[in-house]
């Protein structure tokens, strides 16, 4: 099911291109994608706080929600796509990114419609990409110490620290966290990296960052605050365990491919 496509006129070239004469420089098209599942209670608030002067289009992909997410999305100035069956978080992202690329995005943002991440940070998320300083921007809950302050459960905090440390060691990076759901990608990155081969589950997020390092893309971070409340989506303990094991598995695949021990489709152009 598809609703109206957003048709905002705001520019996104270096966050403000009104100093440029018409036709002198191509304005970047920034598209926000929202992978949704049962987000009816928080969708409107998330939508309202997105800076429409920066964002050209908003795409919501509903993963067969059991609530009124699609109906509410249809009342907003966004494109709504509904999966006829549930395919998982990673599968939802694949639809998000393909649709954004099809609509001509230069920068694609993933913002959860559950209002856990601050939509007002969108300009900060896109700025490093528009400036040519990064191919990926991660909204980190650990820069500035906002994770526990925002209500992150302690077991998630500990697991995040352990996994992030392991990922930095294996990938040779120095990121404050790898597990944020607030991300921005350049078009060049999404066209180069074979993300369609990734998992349809939560470990998609870890796999795509392994691919980013493998293919030599630049990753940047900005601090973001998060909110943990009943309506915010969050995987349960056992799914968190499965996710953690999946992250370690993704690191193993990366190491084997990087060192020429065993190839893997995730790291094949």
pLDDT of 154 above 60: yes
CA dihedral 173, 174, 175, 179 (to 10 degrees): 50
Q: Are 215 and 194 in contact (CB under 8 A)?
A: no
pLDDT bin (cut points 50, 70, 90) of residue 14 is very low
Q: Which of 1-10, 135-144, 198-207 has the lowest mean pLDDT?
A: 1-10
Mean pLDDT of 71-82: 98
Q: What is the pTM of this model?
A: 0.87
pLDDT bin (cut points 50, 70, 90) of residue 153 is confident
Confirm whether 16 is domain-assigned. no
pLDDT bin (cut points 50, 70, 90) of residue 145 is confident
- Shortest CA distance to 112 belongs to which of 141, 84, 134? 141
Res 227: pLDDT:
81
Res 25: pLDDT:
52
Confirm whether 83 is domain-assigned. yes
Confirm whether 268 is domain-assigned. no
Res 232: pLDDT:
56
Q: Are 30 and 137 in contact (CB under 8 A)?
A: no
Q: Are 6 and 78 in contact (CB under 8 A)?
A: yes
Rama region for 86: left / alpha / beta (φ>0; ψ in -120 to 50; rest): beta
Is 235 exposed, middle or buried, given 0-12, 13-18 or 19+ CB atoms closer than 10 A? middle
Res 151: pLDDT:
77
Instruction: Name the domain count of the chain.
Output: 1
**What tokens does 222 get?**
């900005």
Per-residue pLDDT of 108-142, as tens digits, reads 999 999 999 999 999 999 999 999 999 999 999 99
Confirm whether 266 is domain-assigned. no
pLDDT of 184 above 50: yes
Confirm whether 217 is domain-assigned. yes
Res 240: pLDDT:
85
CATH number at residue 88: 3.90.550.10
Confirm whether 139 is domain-assigned. yes
Confirm whether 237 is domain-assigned. yes
Domain extent, residue 146, equals: 26-260
Residue 266 and residue 207: Cα distance in Å, rounded? 8
Neighbours of 52 (CB within 10 A): 16
Confirm whether 215 is domain-assigned. yes
Res 5: pLDDT:
32
Per-residue pLDDT of 202-256, as tens digits, reads 999 999 999 999 999 999 999 998 887 666 556 677 888 899 999 999 999 999 9
Res 233: pLDDT:
56
CA dihedral 97, 117, 48, 110 (to 10 degrees): -10
- Shortest CA distance to 63 belongs to which of 50, 82, 44? 82
Mean pLDDT of 50-64: 97
Res 190: pLDDT:
98
Res 79: pLDDT:
98
Res 230: pLDDT:
65
Average pLDDT, the chain: 89
């Amino acid at each position: 099911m598809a609703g109206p496509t957003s048709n905002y006129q705001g520019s996104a070239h270096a966050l403000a291109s009104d100093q440029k004469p018409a036709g002198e420089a191509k304005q970047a098209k920034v598209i926000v994608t929202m992978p949704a599942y049962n987000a009816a209670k928080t969708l409107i608030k998330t939508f309202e706080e997105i800076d429409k002067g920066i964002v050209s289009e908003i795409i919501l992909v509903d993963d067969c929600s059991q609530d009124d997410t699609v109906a509410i999305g249809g009342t907003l100035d966004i494109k709504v796509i509904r999966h006829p069956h549930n395919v998982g978080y990673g599968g939802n992202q694949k639809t998000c990114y393909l649709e954004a690329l099809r609509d001509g995005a230069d920068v694609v943002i993933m913002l959860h419609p559950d209002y856990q991440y601050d939509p007002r940070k969108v300009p900060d998320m896109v700025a490093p990409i528009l400036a040519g300083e990064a191919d990926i921007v991660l909204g980190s809950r650990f820069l500035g110490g906002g994770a526990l302050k925002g209500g992150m459960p302690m077991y998630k905090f500990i697991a995040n620290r352990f996994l992030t440390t392991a990922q930095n060691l294996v990938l040779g990076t120095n990121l404050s966290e790898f597990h944020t759901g607030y991300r921005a990608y350049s078009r060049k990155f999404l066209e180069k990296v074979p993300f369609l081969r990734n998992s349809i589950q939560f470990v998609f997020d870890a796999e795509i960052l392994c691919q980013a390092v493998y293919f030599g893309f630049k990753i940047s971070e900005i601090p973001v605050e998060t909110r943990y409340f009943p309506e915010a989506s969050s995987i349960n303990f056992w799914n968190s365990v499965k996710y953690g094991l999946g992250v370690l598995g993704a690191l193993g695949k990366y190491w084997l491919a990087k060192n020429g021990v065993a190839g893997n489709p995730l790291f094949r152009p």
